[in-house]
Every structure is written in structure tokens, then in C-alpha cells.
Amino acid sequence: MYISLTGSTDNKDVYIKRSYRKDNGKTATQIYRKLGKLNDLLDQFSGDYDAMMAWARAEAEKDTIEYNAKTSSVTVSLSKCAYIPKNEERCLQVGYLFLQKLCTDLKIGSISRKISTRHKYTYDFNAILTDQIFSRILAPSSRLGSYAYCQTLLEPPRYDLQNVYRALSVMAEESGFIQEELYRNSNFVHPRNRKILYYDCTNYYFEIERDDDFRKYGKSKENRPNPIVTMGLFMDADGIPLAFDVFPGNQNEQTTLKPLETKVIRDFACSEFIFCSDAGLGSRSNRRFNSFGKRSYVITQSLKKMRAEDRQAALNPRNFHRPGSDKLINISTLDEADPDIYETVFYKEVPVVNGSMDETVIVTYSPKYKAYQKKIRGQQVARAVKMLEQPGRKRRGKNQNDPARFIRSTAITEEGEVAGRKIYDLDLERISEEEKYDGFYAVITNLDGDASEILKINRQRWEIEENFRIMKTDFEARPVYVRREDRIRAHFLICYISLLVYRLLEKKTGNKYTCSEILGTLRSMQVTRLSKESGYIPSYKRTNLTDELHKAFGFRTDYEFISRSAMRSIIKSTKTEEVKK
């Protein structure tokens, strides 16, 4: 098929036409599809005729592939006596083609070419990096396992395993540059929402017995006694990762913010945004850092750690508001059995002064949240009672959710004894103290504006937690199987890019499917090669999601039969950058 422009000079139409042969043997052409008026299309491409024609030819190529796949009839000869070739992969993965298209649109090939000018290597760095991304999303494992998995792709590796390890060192050295370039290029795939930037930290453990200069013993979020490293991650307002860095496991999380945020401001041209994080990263120093220029902050505030007079004002039941109303409410008088009251979140604003910083604490109260906290604590108290019934010395509570925190020990000295012994009972004072905070939640901010909008900003923090969950659970970023610091950093760079690609894939499919649905579908998408001379047949279930993927990316792998030439065209299309309007 080809592009044809017909009509008068000022009123031309753009068509996709198809050549065919008549029954009498003569050739003819017919209109296959009308793309539109030339002048209207030029307006869409800002008057750029070459860009418009490049887009039109790409559309014609897509129509050619689809037409050939629909109309071609296939005859395949198979023998009942012939064996299949030994050691030949027959079941091949095609789900990676959607990821490959996104990597192409992110211009990872162009990034790799720029990196190659600064390093002396002979292997295909781009192929290694993209293959590592595919395997991290589709079949996460060690480098050896990833290399073995890539042998099942339609395009198996043409590099050696040793090249993978060498490339990891290059990835680590160029990590900052890669992140910067990916951020710029991702704007062409999905415009980035930089109005709000979310930041959080997590850690990853190593199955080793001794720490070193980078992998350090620290406070593990999973309570594991292993050396760890800490990852700091920035996310934009749409839940798409923006930048990351990795720090020694014993480094205080609060000190990880400034270096990475400074890089984002300097290299990503992000200087005006609202910074949002949890209380663990909301030190006064970090809040002050985000008070300069056109930056502001919304940070979770621990009521227990507020100054006594501020905490008293925050917990005072008076002067609360219902959303959308200016009427003052005393929450102690609420009928929490009323379903409408039970589902409502009330709030009030408490001005606080910390030195030269004028801030506002927005306190919320939710009867529903209160009931939830009461239920959880009731279960913890019940477990504490069971622990008291067991003989022997009782352990101390490890954290704020440990039932053992409700067990109180009292030392008594009997007459004639030098050393005292301890008795254990339920700490009713501790339980009563925690009950004071049931239903309450707070954020601190330097913003002036609608409190409900500020609270809405904070509620979206769950997405950065989900990003960490995806990396840890679905991409199996831990435990880490490499030892050298540079290769550890490269491992997390691969996980970060994989998360970026996955999030963009979610946007492509309209955010209509869960992570397990998307990954499960991609991982199941395989084709069976009948022979090297014929072609492929799909070996997966066609669903609404597979249709959505094919529609979003402009190619199909779900025809009953796909010839070798058609598959080569599909692969080529996933490596061709789209012409943007």
C-alpha cells in the first residue's frame, strides 16, 4: 500500500491506496482508507509536510501488515515421522514486544549510542540493557537466569553472559545520565506532571553474613537481620517514577533527600513543585530546604511528636469543619453511629511557629478510621494477654505495632533477696494513651489554600508505596544477587527503568487493569514456531487486555497464523520511533 494525494491544489485529500491484480491479469488500484484533508493534517503537524508524510507512510505500513495477515491463506506441511530439531526453541515470548516499543519511544537506543562515545566496548550495550528490562518485568531472576530467559525471546541475545556483567559497570557509571535522558524522553510518551513530587525511601536486603562499605547493617523495614542498602525514589503526580539513588544501609533516611532533590532541580529543570513525603522524611531541615524558591511542602505530621501545646490544640475536639462547610463542629458531640457521620472526614487547621518558619498543621478526624484503629489495637491487646499467660520472661516490644508493647514489667524485691524479680501485667496506661489518638491524622504544610486540596495531595502517597511493592514483589528486586557496589547500583537502575516502562504501559492501556493482570498477560503471551520456513501460531488466550494492548501499540500478534515476514515487520515496527504530531 502507498500514499496518494488527489484533488485540486487547495483542496487535496490524503489516501492510502492498494494495488491489486484483476481477473484478466491487469493491475489496478483502489482506495483502502482516507486519512483526511491535506490542509487539516498539516495543521495537526504544525505545517511540517515531511512529518505528516512520514506519519502517513507509517499508517500505510500498518495497514499493509494487517491486510496481509487477514487475507493470506496458509498451507503448512508437517510430517508424522520427522522429529523436531534438537535444542531448538519452539515456544517463544512475544509479550516483550510491547515493552520493546516503549523502550524505543523512550529512545534508549539513542541514549546507548551517546554512552558508547565515552566507553570502549564491542558488545551491544542497548541490547543488554533492554533485555535486562524485559527479563526483570517478565521473568525476574539473577543475571544468569535473565540471560537464559532471553534465549526464549523472538530475538535471542547475540552477546555473551560475560558482556552482561561488564555492561553493569557501565550502567552504574552512567546512571545519572540515563535517568536524566529518560525523564526528558518520557515526556514524549506521557507528559510528566511535575506540580507535585513525592519522595520516600525503602531498603533491600542481601543474603550475606557480613557487611561491607556499602551494604550495611541498618533498620530493615522487613525486620531482617541482613545487611541492607537504602533506595530513595522520587515520583511525579501521576505515579510515574522520576529519579532514584541508592545509599548505604546505615545512612539516616532524612539525609538522602537533599542530594537527590538537588539533582532533580538542577538536571531535570524541575524548580517549582510541591514536595510531599511521610513523617520520617519531614525533618525541619528538609522542610526548610523545600521552603525556598517556588517550592513548598505537604508532609505527614506525627501528633505524638508535636510540642505539648500544639498537640493539645490539635487534639482539642472543638473548631473542626465538615468538608464544604464553614460551620464549626465539636467532634465529641458527633453521633458516630450515623452512617453519614461515620463516613465523613472532619478537619481543622492549627497554625504553628517553628523558629522563623510559619506552618499550618491540618488535623483530620475520621470515625471510620477510629473504629479501624480500635479494632487493630483490640487484636493486639488480645495477643498481649496470650503472651502474659505463657510462662517465662517476656520480651520487649520491637515497634509501634508489636503487641508486646502493651506488656509492663515491674521489679519487686522480696525480703532477704539482693536482686529483684519482675512481674508482668497489661499496661493499661499505655493502652489509654494510644486511645487518645484514635481517628486522628495530620499533615504539616507551608501552603496557603484549601485544606481539602492539601489533604488530597497527601492521600496520593499510596502510589509511591505501590511503586516499592511492585519492585520488591512483582520485579523481585530482592534479595540482590550481585556483590560489587557498581553492579548493585546497576541492578537498581534496571529495576527503576523497568518500573518506569511498566507505569507508562499502564497509561497506554488507560489505567484499567491491575498489575497482576498486566504482568500475567504479558508473561503468558507466547507463540509456537512451526518451522523456520513457515511461521508462528499464538499459544495464549486472547482477552480484552490483549486486544487493548494491540490497539494501543498498533500491531497484532493474535492472528491464527503469522508468517515469518509479517513477524519481521512487527518486530521492525517496535524498533521504529513514532512521529509525534
User: What distance in Å separates the CA atoms of residue 77 and residue 87, rounded to the nearest whole number?
Assistant: 21
The mean pLDDT value of the chain amounts to 90
Q: Is 419 a residue whose pLDDT tops 60?
A: no
What was the pLDDT predicted at 437?
95
Overall pTM surpassing 0.85 (yes/no) = no
Interatomic CA distance for residues 359 and 151, integer angstroms = 57
Question: In the structure, what pLDDT confidence band is assigned to residue 418 with cuts at 50, 70 and 90?
Answer: very low
Q: For position 581, what pLDDT does the model report?
A: 45
Q: Cell 498537640 belongs to which residue?
A: 311
Using the predicted structure, report yes or no on whether residue 223 has a pLDDT greater than 80: no
Q: Mean pLDDT, to the nearest integer, of 182-190?
A: 95
Give residue 512's Cα distance to chain centre.
15
Structure-derived torsion over alpha carbons of residues 542, 546, 551, 553, reported in degrees to the nearest 10 = -130
Main-chain dihedrals φ then ψ at residue 319, nearest 5 degrees: 70, 30
Q: What is the pLDDT of residues 89-125, one digit of tens each?
A: 889 999 999 999 999 999 999 999 999 999 989 999 9
Q: Environment class of residue 371 by beta-carbon count within 10 Å: exposed (0-12), middle (13-18) or buried (19+)?
A: middle
Bigger pLDDT: 420 vs 428: 428
**pLDDT band for position 441 (cuts 50, 70, 90):** very high
Q: Is the confidence at residue 348, as pLDDT, over 60?
A: yes
Least confident of 78-92, 405-419, 564-578: 405-419
Q: Mean pLDDT check: name the lowest of 70-79, 324-333, 571-580.
A: 70-79
Q: How confident is the model at residue 288 (pLDDT cuts 50, 70, 90)?
A: very high
For residues 182-199, average pLDDT: 95
pLDDT at 236: 96
Q: Give the mean pLDDT of 422-427.
A: 87
452 pLDDT above the threshold of 60: yes
* Closest by Cα among 340, 335, 331 to 439: 331
Higher local confidence (pLDDT), 90 or 128: 128
pLDDT at 353: 80
**CA dist., res. 262 & res. 17, Å (int):** 54
Tell me which residue of 204, 195, 280, 269 sits closest to 235, measured CA to CA.
195
Region at 486 (left for phi over 0; alpha for psi -120 to 50; beta for the rest)? alpha
CB 349 within 8 A of CB 331: no
Rounded to an integer, the average pLDDT of 408-420 is 66
Q: Where are the domains of the chain?
A: 1-71, 91-278+461-524, 369-435
pLDDT at 500: 97
pLDDT band at 80 (very low <50, low <70, confident <90, very high): confident
Least-confidence region, from 352-356, 421-425, 469-473, 541-545? 352-356
What is the C-alpha separation between 364 and 572, in angstroms, rounded? 54
pLDDT at 454 over 90: yes
Crossing angle for the helix pair 485-508 and 161-173, to the nearest 10 degrees: 90
CA distances from 330 to 103, 327, 365, 421 (A): 55, 10, 11, 48
